[in-house]
Amino acid sequence: MAISTDESIKPLVTGMTGACTLLDCSPDQIYGLIYNGELDSYLEGTRRKVTINSIERLIERRLAAKGAKLDRSELLEKRLAAKRIKAGRSIGERRAPA
């Protein structure tokens, strides 16, 4: 069975780098959210995977606390922008300092 690369298929998990990008925070903050039970994660070998659903639930909880609503199109756009940035860098290339 071949896996489709169609962008309409939503990933179920992301790595630490992806979680940091989606939540715009550091790995230490992600580990804190995992430790506090706010994000679901598991180890796949030595790599930590974070579920996309738990990231979305975290955002929904935080927005609900402020009386706002999650706009899934904004989350999808951020995810796609992160993929474009990652694809644009070659191996070993570093980001320019901000």
pLDDT of the residue at 92: 52
Predicted pLDDT of residue 10: 86
Report in angstroms the alpha-carbon separations of 72 from 47, 82, 89: 27, 15, 26
pLDDT in tens, 85-98: 777 764 555 555 55
Residues contacting residue 95 through CB under 8 Å, at least 6 positions apart:
89
Positions of the chain with pLDDT lower than 70, given as ranges? 1-7, 68-71, 89-98
The pTM is what? 0.63
Instruction: Return the pLDDT at 66.
Output: 77
The confidence score (pLDDT) of residue 80 equals: 80
Question: How much of the chain is in helix, strand and coil states, percent to nearest 5?
Answer: 50, 10, 40
